[in-house]
Amino acid sequence: MASSRLLKIGLIPGDGIGREVIPAGRRILEALPSSLGLKFEFVDLHAGFQTFEKTGAALPDKTVDVLKSDCHGALFGAVSSPSTAVKGYSSPIVALRKKLDLYANVRPVKTVMNAAKPIDMVIVRENTEDLYVKEEKTYDATDGSGKVAEAIKRISQKASYRIAAMAGEIALRRQKIRQAGVPSIHKGPLVTITHKSNVLSQTDGLFRSTAREALALAKFNSVEVEEQIVDSMVYKLFRQPEAYDVIVAPNLYGDILSDGAAALVGSLGLVPSANVGEGFAIGEPCHGSAPDIMGQGIANPIATLRSTALMLEFLNEEEAAAKIYAAVDANLSEGKLLSPDLGGTAKTEDVVQDILRRL
């Protein structure tokens, strides 16, 4: 008999459709076959704009404390961003990443295999440094240039090494998930290192050489490693997206590439993500709170279901993750029960039911 493992999962629905899709994540975890030996305990937690309006804190201390001390992972829905700056309010997910040292942002982008241009890739973005250290200054030039503004682009060996090693692990795990029967266009694990070291020989040069070093570890022997300059990568991403399996990138390039790649699959409602640190992962659909469709019961739950599977991957539960991916892919390939963002008429509940049935 398989031994049983108890996983405690924090649920942070946030605002808008986050409240409609996060419950689907919980339900799919509860519906996993008992043969996997997994048990789940859920903790309801708060964050977001509504929480801010009620309590004055967008990310209450309690949410952080419970995640830190009591949870293996979490699901995060979405938070509304007020259109004009509100005093005292800042994004709780950005704060959470800092407080839990979630140094990687992981974004899989996948179409169905019978798409005209099938895609199955994941972008692994470093999330703590690069231009996002936000060390900027403005001064008056003495050479007639007027005002000049400068920003620091910081790249460290430590951050580059751990993000590349994570990309290697992800490539190996994706291979296992394919072997567990989830359809894919790829035959073997491949990591592509993104950089612009032809121009930025020191910063991007360090990222590139450190990533190479991390991926040269013996455990990544079966992983093919290639590299590409970021601008030519954008070109190829749009022309030949099937060429990519795992892309690893410094913060800014990763940010741009992951939004670009998400545009290739047709709806934000399909794209998952995970914020990952040492032994902790938060699954988060890529979409926002979608106020335009909120309350109608038509939000696509797939981004959340895939984020749930992705969280499981980082808790080393590949088999459970593979079951969810396969059920989602089967729903999409059949194409009968699709939500309106995909051209269908199904409600959130219909899509969830169909996918649960396929588990």
Binding stretches for Mg ion (CB under 5 A): 288
Question: Smallest distance, Å, CB 262 to ligand ATP?
Answer: 11
In the bound state with ligand ATP, the residue whose beta carbon lies nearer, of 118 and 288, is: 288
Nearest residue to ligand ATP on Cβ basis: 288
* 331 in contact with ligand ATP (CB under 6 A): no
In the bound state with ligand ATP, the residue whose beta carbon lies nearer, of 7 and 123, is: 123
In the bound state with Mg ion, the residue whose beta carbon lies nearer, of 183 and 288, is: 288
Window 279-308: contact mask with ligand ATP (x via CB under 6 A): --------xxxxxxx-----xx--x-----
Which of ligand ATP, Mg ion, none is residue 269 near (CB under 5 to 8 Å by kind)? ligand ATP
Which of Mg ion, ligand ATP, none is residue 341 near (CB under 5 to 8 Å by kind)? ligand ATP
Which of ligand ATP, Mg ion, none is residue 299 near (CB under 5 to 8 Å by kind)? ligand ATP
* 196 in contact with ligand ATP (CB under 6 A): no
* 91 in contact with ligand ATP (CB under 6 A): no
In the bound state with Mg ion, the residue whose beta carbon lies nearer, of 260 and 288, is: 288
- With CB under 6 A as the contact rule, the residue among 37, 40, 43, 81 that binds ligand ATP is 81
* 50 in contact with ligand ATP (CB under 6 A): no
* 37 in contact with ligand ATP (CB under 6 A): no
Which of ligand ATP, Mg ion, none is residue 112 near (CB under 5 to 8 Å by kind)? none
Q: What is the 3-state secondary structure (H, E, C) of the chain?
A: CCCCEEEEEEEEEECCCHHHHHHHHHHHHHCCCHHHCEEEEEEECCCCHHHHHHHCCCCCHHHHHHHHHHCCEEEEEECCCCCCCCCCCCCHHHHHHHHCCCCEEEEEEECCCCCCCCCEEEEEEECCCEHHHCCEEEEECCCCCCEEEEECCECCHHHHHHHHHHHHHHHHHHHHHHHCCCCCCCCCCEEEEEECCCCCCCHHHHHHHHHHHHHCCHHHCCCEEEEEEHHHHHHHHHHCHHHCCEEEECHHHHHHHHHHHHHHHCCHHHCCCEEEECCEEEECCCCCCCCCCCCCCCCCCHHHHHHHHHHHHHCCCHHHHHHHHHHHHHHHHHCCCCCHHHCCCCCHHHHHHHHHHHC
- Provide the binding-site residues for ligand ATP, judged by CB under 6 A: 16-17, 78, 80-81, 268-269, 287-293, 299-300, 303, 339, 341
